[in-house]
Amino acid sequence: METQNKTNNKSLKWLWVTIAIAAVVLLGIWCAINAINNPKLDKIETPSVNEGKEGIINIFNFSTTFVVFVVAFLIIALGYLLGSIDIKGVTLGTAGVFLVAILFGFLCTIVPEDVPLLNAFAIKQTSHTVVKYLSSPLQNLGLILFVGSVGFIAGPNFFKDLAKNFKTYIVLGVVIILSGTLVAVICTLLTPEYGPEFWSGVLSGALTSTPGFSAAVDAADPNLKSVITLGHAIAYPFGVVGVVLFVQLIPKLLKVDMNKERELLKTTDAHSGRDYSKYFKCEPFGFMPFGLAIISGLLLGSITIPLSLDGYNGPCFSLGTTGGVLIMCLVFGHLGHIGKLSLEVTEQTKKVLREFGLALFLLGAGFDGGVALVEQIALYGSDIVAWGFIGGALMTIAPMISGFLLSKYLMKLPLLNGLGSITGGMTSTPALGTLIHVSKTEDVASAYASTYPIALVLIVLACQLMITLM
């Protein structure tokens, strides 16, 4: 009886599969007949990249929204596949999304506009609608989610750790930024034909600092803004990948016992227990306090402070989206509650938002960089690209080595504290994600969060001063 039931269920299953296939085939035939008989579709509310095309293309309504999400999730899927490749224990991790995004950005610029279906993905300039959707909104959303979750992760122990190691983190932040700036100044003196604008862009890219890039653009002559963009785009890829590889290679080269390093880190950053059960929670995941912290951080980051007697007509400083959100999420994570209202964000929520935010950030930055790099190289040629890449690599490597030698051999910091501080000093969000994966502890986020604000202020000042003083 049981065998007969299985046979009947199997027959029924294949019957439904056959019906489904037949329905799809008939639907396809119907669409094809209508596409041939009606060569042009009526306009619809959603803008379509194939609007007005004739023939079989009318079957596919490739709206801008469709193209954006297909490209975005394809990049994420392929990026994680690339990032999972393990070569002697070293992986790209989430940074694989960044490299795939750069490749897609480049490929979309060479897609012929007369190829059916594929022409929906053709991009010829950085002002293209798809580029705007993929770069700025997704990149900023990802950065907010990542930095916000890091703030909540580090918050409970941040101020205790900062009070204990305040001088150490200041010195590390200063040394890291000064090392990169020194290389940038030397490059400017060796290649005066490229100018300080180009090298300030390279510096901001090598240290993956969007606020630094914005500061350089604000301080520069409007006619030279494109050369800053070029420098930033050239140095940014190695700035991302270089730090990601560094935090993986150093523990392997030193052959450290990671279990022992985690114990040393926890000794420095001991968790404080907290009972949230006595406070009111309006939902179980912590999205409400996370949202409140983000709003507070965006408001804080929007405050602009003039840096000269010219007031708001001269150079200005603001914490920006990243700095403001990080600080307020640290505060919310540290407080844990406001009166009877719980500010708890669950561990699972923080992990998911951190990883998803990082993927979105790298997706936007990589795609935008891939498109911009092609456009800028067409304007300036390849020689400047070679110089920019070499100089940018040195601006990434020199600060990391300086910070590592200082933290390990002079300050005698535990390795994971030192590496966490280096990721903060390099303002490298991808590297922090990698370090958390490598160390298998989120406690490294405290060192990152302690050094990051110092580095953020210094890199903004460095990029501005290079242009105004040189």
Return the H-helix or E-strand segment holding 228: helix 225-254
CB-based burial, 223-247: b 16+ in 10 Å, e otherwise? ebebbbbbbbbbbbbbbbbbbbbbb
Q: Which of 115-129, 131-145, 371-385, 420-434 has the lowest mean pLDDT?
A: 115-129
- Res. 90: pLDDT tops 50: yes
* For residues 50-78, average pLDDT: 68
Residues 3, 7, 9, 13, Cα dihedral to 10°: 150
> Domain locations in the chain?
133-469
Most confident range (mean pLDDT) of 112-116, 304-308, 320-324, 404-408 is 404-408
Tell me the C-alpha distance between 253 and 235, whole Å. 26
Tell me the C-alpha distance between 265 and 288, whole Å.
31
Using a pLDDT cut of 70, give the percent of the chain over it: 80
Higher pLDDT, 358 or 248: 248
Nearest residue to 383 (alpha-carbon basis) of 198, 197, 126: 198
pTM over 0.85: no
- The Cα 320–Cα 123 span in angstroms is 30
Q: What is the DSSP string of 15-64?
A: HHHHHHHHHHHHHHHHHHHHHHH--SPPP-SS-BTTTT--GGGGG---BH
270 near 157, Cβ under 8 Å?
Answer: yes
Mean pLDDT of 95-99: 83
388 has a pLDDT exceeding 60: yes
- The amino acid present at 348, given as its one-letter code, is Q
Q: Residue 419: how many CB atoms within 10 A of its CB?
A: 33
Residue 41: what pLDDT? 41
| Residue 18 bridge partners (DSSP) | none
Tokens for 276?
């949230």
Q: Which of 244, 215, 210 is nearest to 322 (CA)?
A: 210
Whether 8 has a pLDDT exceeding 80, the answer reads no
* Closest to 182 measured CA to CA, from 387, 384, 395: 395
Max CA separation in the chain (angstroms): 92
Contact 335, 343 (CB under 8 A): yes
Pairing of strands 337-338, 341-342: antiparallel
Q: Which pLDDT band, with edges at 50, 70 and 90, does 220 fall under?
A: confident
Burial class for 351, CB neighbours closer than 10 Å (0-12, 13-18, 19+): middle
CA distances from 164 to 168, 380, 437, 450 (A): 9, 49, 25, 11
Higher pLDDT, 211 or 34: 211
* Mean pLDDT of all residues belonging to the chain: 79
